[in-house]
Chain A
Amino acid sequence: MTRYVCILLAATLGLGACATQQNTAHCSAPLNRDLDTAMMEVEQRLASGCEYHFDRYFQQLLSTAEDNPDAENKSRFSDHLLRANEMGVISQRQAKELYNRYFNVKFVSLTGDYNTCAQTCPVRSEVMNNMQNELRDKQVGLLKASADKTGYYRADHLLKEAQLVLEATCRACNAGAQ
């Protein structure tokens, strides 16, 4: 009896492993080089057990878009993120953050509802580093993927101005606190 149970268990595990292997292969298969097609493939996979690969897919899609720069890519990514949100793979907050990080001039790293003295000044250098990193992502999203030089230069300009204004404001905040 014990023998039969063991065989049954082994067979079940074997089938499970097989299914996992198939799933992994399905999730990891290369994406089409056409962005629209690739996005459809990604969405199909996300709907069929590959949701944990979302981040990797997003980077792959960006890379595909870089190879085919187009002003329309912004709206493609926006729609893709909205669909991923509707599928429940990512939250709306994540969708917004990703879209704005890559495709908007504004910096998600410089947001908040408290006053600047209290929220930003204590961590100013960290905020500036984050903005710098975000600018690199905007270089990918705005400049390379969307061919939006204007947008990228505005973001670059905004970063420099924010740096100057925050330096002065935080110095003034500190002087007032002393």
Chain B
Amino acid sequence: MPSPHPIVAALASCLIAVSFSSHTLAAGQSGPVVKLFPTTVLEDIRETSAVAEELENNLQEIIHRLDMQQQLYQESLCEGADADQGCARMAKQLGATYLEMLNAMGERLPEMERAVNNTRNSLEKRLRQELGQRTTPTTLQNQLLGQTAAVSATTRPALRGRSGVRLSDRFKQYYDLVATHRNGPSKSLAVVAADIYLDMEEASQLIAATQQEISRAALMEQLNQSFGLITPEMAAVVGGVKEILFGEAGGETPIAAPPYAIGQDTFVSPLEM
């Protein structure tokens, strides 16, 4: 099993980062701590979402073509039949589509990088000011506890690192989340902001690494075009991108333990903080 290609990892991270944006919009509209999400931050997040959506749309069509070509290649029993001219032609076509995918990513990534960096920087500033400088550990804890008490299993947000859900479906899920938040309890915005910020930072680093990797991978594929090979690396990259774009909804890992009953009578000690 080949390790995930950096491109795939970067893309996954971008998509994850973007996935939180809708949730943030939802939370930002209903939560009391609006200072973490002023209009500028929301605009940055919205833009990042749009850029990522464009990237997804572009790649989706290419991935579909790659899928068809790969299927044809396999059904024609071309694996291992390097000498066959027809198979060699199919392998070249497959390689060309793969190159197209790399180019599509290469073209969109600078824009993605700019959007992600903007969001990261604006969130970084807000986190520093609001949670770092204007909050004590005691108030931070109170804020987290006050809001976690109302979170139910259905409104619990995804954890960082969740991937494999079709992006459009994810947006739909976030729309539902917005609807729930309109009348329901709100998730701690501190957690949402922290989550997005860390994801954006990771995404930013991975995008930079991916941009370097794309030129290397493109060069390798141009060389492979001369020989008409389908490399395991190609298969791994395509597989990974497919998983991100068309994957099934992964098992959502709860951020903590099972939900608890709300509203039960509890003893309050005079010693309590």
Contact = CB atoms under 8 A, between A and B. Distances in A.
B127 A169 contact: yes
A172 interface: yes
Interface in B242-270: 255-261, 264, 266-267, 269-270
Interface stretch (A22-30, A48-56, A96-104): A96-104
B201 interface: yes
A108 B132 CA distance: 19
A107 B267 contact: no
A153 B258 contact: yes
B256 A164 contact: no
Contacts of A116: 131-133, 135-137, 140
A38 interface: no
Interface size bucket, A side?
Answer: 35 or more
Contacts of B131: 116, 165, 169, 172
Contacts of A148: 266
A86 interface: no
A151 B266 contact: yes
Interface stretch (A1-9, A13-21, A57-65, A74-82): A74-82
Given A156-B256, A156-B257, A119 B136 contact: yes
B191 interface: yes
Contact of A171 (B138, B201, B266): B201
B132 A115 contact: yes
A165 B188 CA distance: 10
Contact of A168 (B127, B264, B266, B271): B127
B43 to A, nearest CB: 19
B128 A161 contact: no
A75 B271 CA distance: 10
Interface stretch (B65-73, B90-98, B192-200, B218-226): B192-200
B273 interface: yes
B273 A96 contact: yes
Q: Which of B132, B198, B272 has the most CB of A within 10 A?
A: B132
A67 B25 CA distance: 48
B183 interface: no
A117 B273 contact: no
Nearest to B187: A161
A164 B191 contact: yes
Nearest to A106: B273
Interface stretch (B6-14, B78-86, B144-152, B209-217): B144-152
A71 interface: yes
Interface string A111-134: 111111101110000010000000
A165 B256 contact: no
Nearest to B193: A168
Contacts of B100: none
Contacts of A162: 140-141, 144
B41 to A, nearest CB: 13
Interface string B98-135: 00000000000000000000000001110110011111
B140 A154 contact: no
A12 interface: no
A110 B138 CA distance: 6
A106 B143 CA distance: 11
Interface string A132-165: 0000000000000000111111101111111011
B190 interface: yes
- Which 10 residue pairs across A and B have the least CB separation, nearest first? A157-B256, A168-B194, A150-B260, A78-B269, A153-B257, A117-B132, A99-B271, A172-B127, A172-B128, A173-B132
Given A119-B137, A153-B257, A171-B201, 9 more contacts: A104-B269, A104-B272, A104-B273, A107-B141, A116-B133, A152-B257, A157-B256, A169-B140, A176-B132
Interface of B: 123-125, 127-128, 131-138, 140-142, 144-145, 148-149, 160, 188, 190-191, 193-195, 197-198, 201, 255-261, 264, 266-267, 269-273
20 contacts: A78-B269, A99-B269, A110-B141, A111-B138, A111-B273, A115-B135, A119-B136, A154-B145, A154-B260, A158-B145, A161-B190, A161-B191, A161-B255, A164-B191, A164-B198, A165-B191, A168-B197, A169-B132, A172-B125, A173-B133
